[in-house]
Chains A and B, each alone.
Chain A
Amino acid sequence: MPWYKRWQNVWRPEALNHELDQELAFHIAETVDTLVASGMTQRDALREAHRRLGNYCLQKERTRDMDISTWLETLRADIQYGARQLRLNPGFAVIAILSLALGIGANTAMFQLINAIRLTSLPVKDPGSLALVVFGENSARAGWWSTRSAEFTSSQVDVLRKEQQAFDEIGVWSAARFDLTTGGEPRYAEGLFVSGDFFQTLGVNAAMGRTLTPADDRESCEVGAVVSDSFWNRELGADRNVLSRQITLNGQTFPVIGVTPPSFFGVEVGTRYDVAIPLCADRLLADDKLGRAPVQAAWWISVLGRLKPGWTVEKASAHIESISPAIMQATLPTSYKTDLAERYLKNRLIVRDGSTGVSGLRRQYENPLLILIGTTGLVLLIACANLANLLLARATAREQEIAVRMAIGSSRFRIIRQLLTESLLLAVGGAVLGAGLALVLSRGLLIFISTSNNPVFVGLGMDWSVLGFTALLAVITCLSFGLLPALRATHMSPVAAIRSEGRGASASREKFGLRRALVATQVAVSVVLLVGALLFVRSLNNLLTTDPGFQSEGVLSVSVNFSRASFPEERRIDLYRDFQDRLAAVPGVTSVAQVGFTPVSGSGWDNAVGPDNTPAAGSGKDSWFNRAAPGYFKTMGTRLLAGREFTERDVRGAPKVAIVNEKFAQKMFDGQNPVGRTFRLEAPAGQPEQTFEIVGLIANTKYRQLREDFYAIGFFPVAQDENPGAGANYVLRISGSPGKVMEQAKATMLQVSPSLAISFLPFSQQLEESLLRERLIASLSGGFGLLAGLLATMGLYGVIVYMVERRRSEFGIRMALGANRGQVMKLVLKEALILLGIGLPVGIGLSLWTGRAASALLFGIEAHDVATLAGACLLLAVVALLAGYIPAMKAASLDPASTLRAD
């Protein structure tokens, strides 16, 4: 009989029984027949037949055990019994399953995200042999950084391709964003410039048409576009004849030559590419029709290689490092001056594992997610401790039952197994519900960190690792809350248990100690979580209330791109001016000014500075820069401390001027009033350094992000820009609804040219989006902290109620002997105080120890902030004492006479 029959028999016990009976009955009937034939009476024959067979029940059971998968049958029985036990106490079951679902769900959601952005391999052929080539740490690189995750200049990659021996194939890409419209408000597609061998290196084939090949990335550059499956669905209506269609990217049309399979999202985790075009197309889309490839210091591309068979990442890294000097030597930008050039030549390239691609999202969210999964893990731990406590209480109530079962011969192991099955039922229920919760939660989190400007795409599937993680959690939680109570319940000798009639006089002390330890642990862990929550919330609050040096409310930023309208460079300064005048005339706009780039947008530009006509090169002092038009500081609400704003007279040909902030004055002029003084700005090699006169001093403002300490910043007039670009940014201070202003601003701008791309973003929204990560951590850790505190309080309450119940008769005697209500209350509250007294100090110690992990994510507050620690402890102490107060009141209102009579 094969194993599945034995499994099957578990579900048909009646039929099996019947068969066995039949078989044995036949045996007896035959024996009787023989015996009767030899002259025995029917009655004696029957008795003799049974004697010969032996113990009928035993033989039948032994036979039956052969036909059945006994462990499975026991499991089935245990599950049935466990389910019945849980049904008897539905309140307990519901609380247990819900709290586990919450804990397991939160953990699984975090794991899903970590798995997706950190652990999952790229959906390409053999991701294990992919490797990234990057610069080693502290590399000296300066120049034009035009895209995220860029590592190389074009010339470096050309040399690398020639010199390297580690890779079979090398794929190169550069992230970009393409405007799909022909004018008006832009609609962006996530774009990739890729080398001709990019798709080949990854081993990605087209689902329709073809991918790009080296023949597409040539000097002649007759290019087509490969689109992603999601883009094909979204923008091209899943058109089967898509290969005959064209798409418009930044005003240029490209024929669609292929669609990639649905699983392929690019090489950047967190972003899904929409359109890929060859690297050479950068030239076609560039303002100057030259693009970034010929520019020596244009950092814009990244490199991924397919390791040759037998090459490891380490071996490749050593090889690439050894050829780095030659690559640097061959590609030294001529604009680099001596010290930068020297440092550049020392740059080293290294190779890293490329199986999981690259990810800005990973860099940004890796540590927060690890902290958050730690948090959710602790919440689950507290929930488990609560359940263990409840189960301990139940075990006490079932002491009698268990004692009887052990007395009639059940083994301890068997009972533990049965009790654990009950716990497993709870854990599995929690895990199933939790997995569902995780799906909702992880998607919600992604939506939370996704913005219209920076959409986050992460493939969140319930894959095997996630399911495995959830199952593992279920088992761990089951053991952690079920094992201890089960061991305890079966610990006592049956005689003692029966004799004590469920009152557990002898063992209660020990059992109670265990419950106290559990509650003290809960208190300690919730201190850690509350401290963490308070730290993150206060840190976010600090960021929100920090003075950025400008007033963001009521400011609308407008960005105009006119590269498609091809205005010649000499007309651009006038065009800027024209736009500004048009925006100023829009009703509801109180002031307007152009700016190089809005603050806190992530853009930046720094350079060496020589104060007071000293050489800038080698001065060791540098500052960050921006450009502004007259009225910019007034519009932004930045205080002008000395001197003047830029005026209409600060144009090309007029003396070169600058406005600096306090930090600049402090750094360059030891805090003296800089107005009227000058500084020199480092220039590319071979060009003279220019001198600027400082005409104004402004208050410090944030530059790149709100978390930063104030930078030294210098502003130059927009009108003195020698290389005006094909785009302009404006800040508008508006009164009234931004919607109306946007509508009219767009209309008036499009009169200049219908091909303009114009986009709007309320400045306060930009600031908020820059704090998404902080907001996420603060709200999640805050929520989990409160949950932890609540669970710990429930645990404490439960244990004190239990204690009061146990000591009823003691309290009765005390009161009969003259103790008053106050004294009894004190006895009970003392219990709460003892638990707090153990839990809080341990919790503080743990907080200090774990706080270091969080300190990098904090702003304006130390991880060991005393007020925060004290606050968390106080909060917990107050709630815990309140939880102790209710049972204390109950104990104090006992009637001694009836208590004693009840015994």
Chain B
Amino acid sequence: MPKSQNDKLQGTLTLLILRTLESRGALHGYGLCHHIHLVSQDLLQVEEGSVYPALHRMEQDGWISAEWQITDKGRRAKFYTITALGKRQLEQERENWARLTQGVERVLRYS
């Protein structure tokens, strides 16, 4: 199986980011990418650059909030946390994802 280009599946990136932030608390962009790589065991290769427009858009929508903090290494980084609104959105995205996979699964199985 080739590595999935996640941004080809509309909205998947949002789902991944929201879920990651929900489980891991505050993260900066790099940490987010890193975490997704690790957890998906390199199956999902996020194009790193596209994470930032997505993060900023989600911040606009109020799903996540951002804060500048100093990292352990003493660098300034922008940390993102999920908001209550973002959690509701995550539920929504999860359901959508479940429906999508279910649908695809059924087509594969029965047609």
Chain B residues near A (Cβ < 8 Å): 28-31, 33-34, 47-50, 52-53, 55-57, 59-60, 62, 73, 75-78
Contact = CB atoms under 8 A, between A and B. Distances in A.
Nearest to A22: B76
A66 interface: yes
A67 B60 contact: yes
B52 A1 contact: no
A737 interface: no
B36 to A, nearest CB: 13
Contacts of B77: 23, 26
Interface stretch (A49-57, A378-386, A455-463, A881-889): A49-57
A59 B52 CA distance: 7
Interface string A1-30: 110001000000000000110111011011
Given A26-B75, A26-B77, A29-B75, A6 B49 contact: no
B76 A26 contact: yes
Nearest to B65: A1
Contact of B60 (A6, A26, A53): A6
B56 A67 contact: yes
Nearest to A55: B49
Contacts of A23: 29, 52, 77-78
A52 B73 CA distance: 22
A62 interface: yes
A126 interface: no
Given A26-B28, A26-B76, A54 B50 contact: yes
A6 B59 CA distance: 11
A120 interface: no
A58 interface: yes
B75 A66 contact: no
Q: Which 7 A-B pairs have the closest CB atoms?
A: A54-B49, A59-B49, A66-B56, A62-B53, A30-B30, A63-B52, A66-B57
B53 A63 contact: yes
A65 interface: yes
A31 B60 contact: no
Contacts of A22: 76, 78
Chain A binding surface, main DSSP class: helix
Contact of B47 (A6, A24, A54): A54
A53 B48 contact: yes
A54 B75 contact: no
A24 B57 CA distance: 16
Chain B binding surface, main DSSP class: helix
Interface of A: 1-2, 6, 19-20, 22-24, 26-27, 29-31, 33-34, 52-56, 58-60, 62-63, 65-67
A71 to B, nearest CB: 14
A26 B30 contact: yes
B17 to A, nearest CB: 13
11 contacts: A26-B29, A26-B78, A27-B48, A27-B52, A33-B73, A52-B48, A53-B48, A54-B48, A54-B49, A56-B49, A67-B60
A59 B78 contact: no
Given A26-B76, A52-B48, 9 more contacts: A19-B78, A26-B77, A27-B48, A54-B48, A56-B49, A59-B49, A59-B50, A63-B55, A66-B59
A26 B50 CA distance: 15
Contacts of B73: 33
B52 A24 contact: yes
B94 to A, nearest CB: 23
B53 A27 contact: no
Given A27-B29, A54-B48, A56-B49, A63 B76 contact: no
A140 B31 CA distance: 95
B53 A59 contact: yes
A55 B77 CA distance: 21
Most chain-A Cβ atoms within 10 A of its Cβ — which of B28, B34, B53?
A: B53
A22 B50 CA distance: 16
A830 B27 CA distance: 78
Contacts of B55: 63
A2 B73 CA distance: 31
B53 A66 contact: yes
Nearest to A66: B56
Contacts of A58: 49
A715 B17 CA distance: 102
Contacts of B34: 34
B60 A1 contact: yes
A747 B23 CA distance: 104
A812 B28 CA distance: 73
Nearest to A23: B78
A55 B78 CA distance: 21
B33 to A, nearest CB: 8
A23 B33 CA distance: 14
Nearest to A6: B60
Contacts of A67: 56, 60
A29 B31 CA distance: 12
A20 B28 CA distance: 13
